[in-house]
Amino acid sequence: MNKNQLLPYKSFINGTVPELNGMRCYAVLLVLLHHIHSDSDIIMNWFKVYGWYGVNFFFTLSGFLITGLLLKEINQNSSIDLKAFWMRRIFRLWPAFYTCLFFGSLVILFVTTKRPEVRQEFYETLFFYPLALANYLEIYIRKDGFPLVLNHFWSLAVEEHFYLLWPILFSQFYKRKVFFWLSTVVLLIIPIYFRFLYIGSGETKIQIFKTLFSTETNIDSMLYGCIAALFYSRYNILKNILLKNIFQITSLALLIFTFHSLGPRENLGHLLTIEPILLSLASCLFILGAIENSNKLNNFFLKNRIALYIGKISYSLYLTHYILYTFNYGILSKFHLTSINSYFIGFIQISTSILASHFLFHYIESPFLKMRKKFTRVH
């Protein structure tokens, strides 16, 4: 691969493509709306059923961006400094994560419950979070009735596992093309195998949780993003605006087909095994079509100031939202306000989460993001 082949990839690797933050905005809003509990409104119920797609999209986008950075580093330096890569990830993820883990722990211990058995369970399982095992905590250890304050941390554990695995594979085998692609295909097959294995063993709670939260059933969502990045870095055909528009339209059509044909719960096996693949493919098509595409719809939805800012603070927003939701719900319950209009509750939940994430981003995330620059090898 020569440097000219990476030219269409240059701007978004340098973080100058606003569409990426616009995409993050809508992905995180889907998750926020998904976690607002309301059974009284058809619109809110739609988000409750389908809002989890935001996590799937985050997985695919993460694979796309991480592979872009790895491609640029290996193109400039002919190698990957794994230690520097992981240090950048630590400075990116850990400061806000541990801040929210601290405050989430306080909410669990002093707001949601005072039952000694719940506190004891929390003390005994707290170490799962810093070990990036929150997803397996939800599957195998967590008991019914435990406050769901930190359960959204499961997806961060999956991403951290991927950040350990993919750079090693990439750095060791990228230049050995045949072996690299064979390894990638094997990694794509593994999640499909485990999803069918788990859900085929019976639609029990533990089998469903294993299918939903395990690393081995989710890494393909990130791998599709990695493959999309490799495709985008090599083929200049995506500079064709018409093709980009076709990609975006196809991605939306695939989303509609997936949600309509498989349904939310009519066929749980299809939902948990096939749907993640179709959603990841739709995410890839949308990402490839949206990057550096300046049509009016993209400019309106992905480049407006609100979308760009929410996208910028999306990591902090994802971390804080369920903690704030639980805290707010406790306050509303105390004053017997939980049965008021679901849109009003949603407004309170989302607005307070955005406010908290604003401070978390500017006072915790940003200082550490500046510090990680000394571990950057690409320019």
- Residue 38, classed as helix, strand or coil, is coil
| pLDDT per position as a tens digit, 134-175 | 999 999 998 777 778 999 999 999 999 999 999 999 988 888
* Backbone angle region of 145, left / alpha / beta, with phi > 0 → left and psi within -120 to 50 → alpha: left
Apex 189 CA angle, 185 and 192, nearest 5: 150
Apex 168 CA angle, 165 and 172, nearest 5: 145
Q: How far apart are CA 49 and CA 44, in angstroms?
A: 9
Which residue did the predictor score with more confidence, 202 or 58? 58
| pLDDT per position as a tens digit, 41-84 | 777 888 888 888 999 999 999 999 999 889 888 888 888 999 99
Q: How far apart are CA 230 and CA 187, in angstroms?
A: 16
Q: How far apart are CA 346 and CA 44, in angstroms?
A: 9
Specify the pLDDT at position 87: 92
Cα-Cα end-to-end distance for the chain? 18
Q: How far is CA 33 from the centre of its chain?
A: 15
Specify the pLDDT at position 263: 56
Please state the domain extents for the chain: 3-375
pLDDT band at 338 (very low <50, low <70, confident <90, very high): confident
Cβ pair 360, 319 in contact under 8 A: yes
- Tell me the angle at which helices 53-77 and 154-173 cross, rounded to the nearest 10 degrees: 30
pLDDT band at 10 (very low <50, low <70, confident <90, very high): low
| pLDDT per position as a tens digit, 345-366 | 889 999 999 999 999 999 999 9
Q: How far apart are CA 323 and CA 210, in angstroms?
A: 24
- Tell me the angle at which helices 275-290 and 241-262 cross, rounded to the nearest 10 degrees: 160
Cβ pair 314, 286 in contact under 8 A: no
Residues 6+ apart with CB under 8 A from 82: 167, 168, 171
Q: What are phi and psi of 60, to 5 degrees?
A: -65, -45
- Residue 314, classed as helix, strand or coil, is helix
What would the two tokens of residue 149 be?
Answer: 């304050």
